[in-house]
Amino acid sequence: MSGKPRLTYLNGRGRMEPVRWLLAAAGVEFEETFLETREQYEKLIKDGVLMFQQVPLVEIDGMKMVQTRAILSYIAGKYNLYGKDLKERALIDMYVEGITDLMQMILMFPFSPPETKEKNIDSIKERATNRYFPVFEKVLKQHGQDFLVGNKFSWADVQLIEAILAVEEKIPAVLSGFPQLQAFKKRMSNMPTIKKFLQPGSPRKPPPDDCYVETVLKIFKK
């Protein structure tokens, strides 16, 4: 396969959104196919396209890639966003895994019952402000550089700006006690490729709504 990467997922954030972010940050244009019915999903399985019968699916460099982490690490390596050596990769991996843990809470939030949403918002705020954001605030303060690893833009920076904006949608003042992260957010948001991705009409998806939740349940729940 040649040409632009092709992404197959629902028309919403979910587990594909960090892939969209990373490709966009690398300045890579991509095409998307959106799943709207269970029949489309079952056809992918029947055709043997999904190794573990799961999406996201990314077709790139002649491969049909599944598993979000594998897709992201391949893109990061391909576009020089994965550090200069094994030690830097290890740091990036640790940062990314931590951010992913926080984003998992964001990912599941739309599917929580209405009576638990306020409690879940409180949990997201507690984790963000006490466990995850302090790590990155300290890193940026200690080394005094613009980026998290090796003073060079990397996958970790992309994951962090995505997470910051996602948490801020639910808790607007979440960065009030993190001046380094406030400055980081401003720097990252003004990088040309990211700035473009944040503009209306970009492939970035809006926060999940009830329609998205219904589509997810329709396609993946038997």
Mean pLDDT within 119-125: 94
| pLDDT attached to residue 1 | 43
Residues 1-12, mean pLDDT to the nearest whole number: 87
Share of the chain above pLDDT 90, in %: 95
Dihedral sign computed on CA atoms, order 153, 196, 13, 135: positive
**CB crowding 125-152: b at 16 or more within 10 Å, else e:** eeebbeebbeebbebbeeeeeebbbbee
Residue intervals of the chain classified under CATH 1.20.1050.10 are: 86-191
In the chain, the percentage of residues whose pLDDT exceeds 70 is 99
pLDDT in tens, 203-220: 999 999 999 999 999 999
The boundaries of every CATH 3.40.30.10 domain in the chain are: 6-79+198-211
CATH number at 86-191: 1.20.1050.10
What is the reported pLDDT for 222?
64
Please, are residues 123 and 101 in contact by the beta-carbon 8 Å criterion? no
Rg (CA), the chain: 18
CATH second-level architecture of 6-79+198-211?
A: 3-Layer(aba) Sandwich (3.40)
What type of residue is 163? A
Distances (CA, A) of 169 to 104, 157, 174: 15, 19, 10
Indicate the range of 5-19, 88-102, 106-120, 179-193 predicted with least confidence. Answer: 106-120
CB atoms within 10 A of CB 214: 10
Residue type, 109: F
Q: How high is the pLDDT of residue 221? A: 81
Among 121, 128, 216, 139, residue whose Cα is nearest residue 180: 139
pLDDT, tens only, 153-193: 999 999 999 999 999 999 999 999 999 999 999 999 999 99
* Confidence (pLDDT) at 33: 96
Tokens linked to 210: 């009830």
Could you tell me the two tokens for 184?
A: 């980081």
Sign of CA dihedral 21, 22, 25, 27: negative
Sheet holding 31-34, edge to edge: 31-34, 6-9, 57-60, 63-66
Query: Which residues share a beta bridge with 31?
Result: 6
pLDDT mean over 40-47: 94
Q: Average per-residue pLDDT in the chain?
A: 95
